Amino acid sequence: MNFKNYMEDVVMEVYQEFIERNPQYCSCDRCRADAMVIALKQLRGLYAVSQEGEIFTRVSRDDRQIRTDAMVMIVEAAKRVAQQPNH
Ligand SMILES: [Zn+2]
């Protein structure tokens, strides 16, 4: 498992949790994909993840922190998508 894939998994899981708690946001495939792309980009920027997906071991112990950050990014991304949905 590398960090890049790990980030994608975290964003997917946290997004699912978010959308279940916030049904007012559209969860169609298009909005889901758009929100996850935005959130993932922000999250990677925050952790400066390399293309190779390294540094996983360095931050893996902060799983809870990464999920907290991911939720913040997802809330922002969902709001942005909701303002200008592509569906
Ligand atoms: Zn939608």
Quick one: average pLDDT of 57-62? 56
In the block, which residue shows the tokens 């993932």?
40
CA 75 – ligand 1 centroid, Å: 15
Least reliable range by pLDDT among 25-29, 48-52, 57-61: 57-61
CA distances to 25, 31, 55, 59 from 77, in Å: 11, 10, 25, 23
Ligand 1 centroid–CA 2 distance in Å is 30
CA of 9 to the centre of ligand 1 (A): 21
Domain residue limits, the chain:
3-83
Which residues make Cβ contacts (< 8 Å) with residue 66, sequence separation at least 6? 7, 10, 43, 47, 59
**Average predicted confidence (pLDDT) for the chain:** 86
Ligand 1: centre distance to CA 83 (Å)? 11
* Tokens 């990014």 found at: 73
